[in-house]
Structure 1
Amino acid sequence: MSSQINIFLAVQELPTPKSRASKMSMVAEAPGYIQVFSDGSVKRFASEVAPPSIESPNGYKSKDVIIDPSKPVTARMFLPDTSEAAFQVPVLVYFHGGGFSIGSTTWLGYHYFLGDLSVASKSIVLSVDYRLAPENKLPTAYDDCYSALDWVSSEKSSEPWLERADLSRVFLSGDSAGGNIAHQVAIKAIRDKACRVKIKGLLPIHPYFGSQRRTVLEMADGAATDVAMNDMFWRLSLPDGSDRDYYGCNFEKVEMCNEEWRRFPAVVVYVAELDFLKERGVTYAEFLQKKGVKGVSLVESEGESHVYHVFRPESEATRLLQKQMSEFINSH
């Protein structure tokens, strides 16, 4: 998790009484965004959010739905306007970033990016709010996000916004930690014989992976601040007793047979030239190719940094990303 991206990593504020705070020490902090205290309490800071709207001035409408009230897991749906009412459309399930510890589909950047993407790709988009670490360490996020696939299939007959959903053309995407989640959800879908949706492709954006071994960028001069922030978010999210070779961090540690790898969907990995995590994304694409996954491609955004599409959802670079993603979805 690069320090340069933490400007948007804040979701809500959980007040801590002054009398209580004075007795605690802070054990982790991204200044101004998240604080974790010695008693396990967490303070997250407010970020500007967008409300859902059934009005559609930008060519789409949105609403919030409950995926699992017992956890809870929620999601925001985006439905594009289209006159092609008789046609079935693909479904894109999206997982937000934030080092598994912060983030929300309600943030302005995500709302506008995904709403516009639903229009560009003519897809129903389901953006999932999963439970966050450190209160809910991995693999909680994977399980929560996988439950969104169950929800889509079970609600197909009763949710009006899913009436035209083509469950044989479901795509998984997400940025940073969300790109990591997309990979893990795809594996769970391959292994789940009861899964009722067909994952046609993965579109991870600047995926967040790691390992005990440092990359060249992580060992470079001037990388200390980024490395420290990256290490902190992995400490917050990894299960107790696990190191950075945990399967959810190091994709090379997952145990899958050749037959399962042959059923892995097509993948396009998006990386950014100036991103501290770029090496991890490139290595991920190379790893999938070595495993025999068909249809693996890598797309680099020149002159761009980590999750630029969330910072600048209306930029020229973001519009290009939406076009590239739409082309991938519509070709599968």
Structure 2
Amino acid sequence: MDTTVTGSSEFIKVFSDGTVERFIPETAPASLDLYNGYKCKDVTIDPSKPITARIFVPSTTTVAATKPPSLPVLIYFHGGGFCIGSTTWLGYHHFLGGLSANADSIVLSIDYRLAPENKLPIAYKDCYTSLIWLSQQKPTESWLENADLSRVFLSGDSAGGNIAHLVAIRAIRDKECPVRVRGILPIHPYFGSEKRTELETKDGSAKEVESNDMFWRLSIPEGSNRDYEGCNFERMEVSLSEWSRFPNVLVFVAELDFLNERGVMYAEFLKKKGVKVKIVETKDETHVFHVFRPNSESTRVLQNQMKEFIHGL
């Protein structure tokens, strides 16, 4: 068997026989004990796939009251080019736990199946399943008893921001969708196309372009290219009626992120479709800084901006 390395990044190595080797960073266990204003536990969405998740709840849900507060729910999809990542990674754990406490919201963070073993659109299907699971489990899951299914938000970073967009479209198209998606909050969203952007053609961009192309090659369906509808948002067939029902959007970009340009293009595209969208740029920060530095001042500001959006709708 030929195991020549054909591509690699900090967290993944790709071999010529189609297999991959993932390098897992430090992870954090779930804890039922309160920590920094939140507690969390792991749940199974679908054991046959498998799809799992981690639920974060703020300390307000533990305060004795005659009528517990009704809390919005943020469903989060991790990044990693559809090929790596997990809600158990230390950075995600601390960021989402802190977000739950700060935004006084229930956070449901999804571990979907990864490419290339499970190419798109499997991640989209897995993540949409979490909306159905949420509605089915609310009557019996004590950690969800305060969940307000009329105030559900979708978020995620990088590939997770891409997923949030596609899941929102699926929710619009599913007339029996049991939750109401009020808004989506893509963080440094990961999109692409066969046509290169100005930044992608500049000198010095070769390494970033090569990495992005590798992840797209591993994740899109066989026979597809970067104009696949999950990659190129301009190729998605969405009707005017569907756009009119698209939720409000808050797009986050980082000034020093190689995907900054794509994020701005995404926001401008939504505006042209009549979607109510706002874009926020974090100065002097790089791609998914909130995962690598979940306790930084920039991350705290990001969490506050997300909080304002969630409680402003």
The whole-number CA distance in structure 2 between the counterparts of 1:105 and 1:208 is: 18
What 5-or-longer segments of structure 1 have no aligned partner?
1-19
The whole-number CA distance in structure 2 between the counterparts of 1:164 and 1:246 is: 39
Whether 1:327 and 2:308 are equivalent positions in the alignment is: yes
Partner of 1:201: 183
Whether 1:249 and 2:228 are equivalent positions in the alignment is: no
Whether 1:55 and 2:33 are equivalent positions in the alignment is: yes
Match of 1:101 among 83, 99, 103: 83
Match of 2:4 among 16, 22, 25: 25
SS of structure 2 residue aligned to 1:183: helix
Cα deviation 1:182-233 (Å, max 9, x = unaligned): 0000000000011000000000000000001111110111101111111111
Cα deviation 1:53-110 (Å, max 9, x = unaligned): 0001211000000000010000000010113652210000000000000000001100
CA RMSD of aligned residues (A): 1.0
**Alignment map for 1:63-74 (pairs within 5 Å):** 63-74=41-52
Q: Residue 136 of structure 2 aligns to which amino acid in structure 1?
A: S
**Alignment map for 1:218-257 (pairs within 5 Å):** 218-257=200-239
Partner of 1:111: 93
The whole-number CA distance in structure 2 between the counterparts of 1:321 and 1:263 is: 26
**Alignment map for 1:1-332 (pairs within 5 Å):** 23-30=2-9, 32-82=10-60, 83=63, 86-293=68-275, 295-332=276-313
TM-score (norm 2): 0.97
The number of residue pairs the alignment matches comes to 309
CA positional deviation for 1:36: 2.0
What 5-or-longer segments of structure 2 have no aligned partner?
none
The whole-number CA distance in structure 2 between the counterparts of 1:38 and 1:276 is: 27
SS of structure 2 residue aligned to 1:168: strand
The whole-number CA distance in structure 2 between the counterparts of 1:24 and 1:120 is: 47
The whole-number CA distance in structure 2 between the counterparts of 1:266 and 1:154 is: 25
The whole-number CA distance in structure 1 between the counterparts of 2:3 and 2:256 is: 38
CA positional deviation for 1:155: 0.5
TM-score (norm 1): 0.91
Identity percentage of aligned residues: 65
SS of structure 1 residue aligned to 2:209: helix
Cα deviation 1:107-138 (Å, max 9, x = unaligned): 11000000000011111000000000111110
SS of structure 2 residue aligned to 1:268: strand
Q: Residue 29 of structure 1 aligns to which amino acid in structure 2?
A: S
